[in-house]
């Protein structure tokens, strides 16, 4: 449907420029570091297909479905901090993973092969 496509595209545009200019945090960080009470990055489940892996860049291009309220369904490049996680991915594999979002930073981890194409048989 055209409307749906249009909405999808605008979401896509909004999604990729996810760098909301954050008001510069007040610079008196010295004393209470964990004052904001947030423990670590946000986590979003991701399901997608790996289109390519760039070991040098430590990133993977992934065609993923919508990722929570953070990103619409789209194909983009995701940093993968942990090279052990990166090593689990290869072009063509379907994965379940977690996207970690920490302010303007995001990366993919907790990569698991999804039983996508392996559905040929058993239970
Ligand atoms: Cu995006």
**Per-residue pLDDT tens for 75-118?**
999 999 999 999 999 999 999 999 999 999 999 999 999 975 55
Separation of 27 CA from ligand 1 center, angstroms? 30
- For the CA atoms of 78, 79, 84, 87, the dihedral, rounded to the nearest 10 degrees, stands at 50
All domains of the chain in start order, with CATH: 2-16+41-113 (2.40.50.320)
Q: In what order do the strands lie in the sheet with 59-64?
A: 74-79, 59-64, 42-54, 94-102, 105-113
Q: Lowest-pLDDT range, 21-25, 30-34, 40-44, 84-88? A: 30-34
Burial class (CB in 10 A: 0-12, 13-18, 19+), 122: exposed
pLDDT > 80? residue 47: yes
Separation of 49 CA from ligand 1 center, angstroms? 14
Q: What is the pLDDT of residue 36?
A: 56
Separation of 71 CA from ligand 1 center, angstroms? 6
Separation of 44 CA from ligand 1 center, angstroms? 14
Separation of 103 CA from ligand 1 center, angstroms? 15
Between residues 61 and 37, the one the model is more confident about: 61
**pLDDT above 90 coverage of the chain, percent:** 61
- Torsion over CA: 25, 44, 97, 60 (sign): negative
State the Cα–Cα distance between residues 8 and 35, nearest whole angstrom. 37
């Amino acid at each position: 449907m055209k409307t749906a496509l249009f909405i999808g595209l605008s979401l896509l545009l909004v999604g990729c420029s996810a760098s909301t200019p954050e008001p510069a945090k007040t610079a008196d960080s010295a004393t209470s570091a964990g004052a904001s009470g947030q423990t670590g990055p946000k986590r979003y489940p991701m399901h997608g297909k790996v289109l390519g892996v760039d070991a040098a860049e430590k990133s993977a291009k992934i065609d993923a479905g919508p990722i929570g309220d953070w990103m619409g369904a789209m194909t983009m490049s995701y940093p993968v901090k942990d090279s052990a996680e990166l090593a689990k991915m290869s072009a063509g594999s379907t994965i379940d993973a977690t996207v970690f979002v920490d302010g303007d930073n995001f990366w993919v981890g907790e990569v698991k092969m999804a039983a996508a194409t392996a559905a040929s048989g058993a239970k």
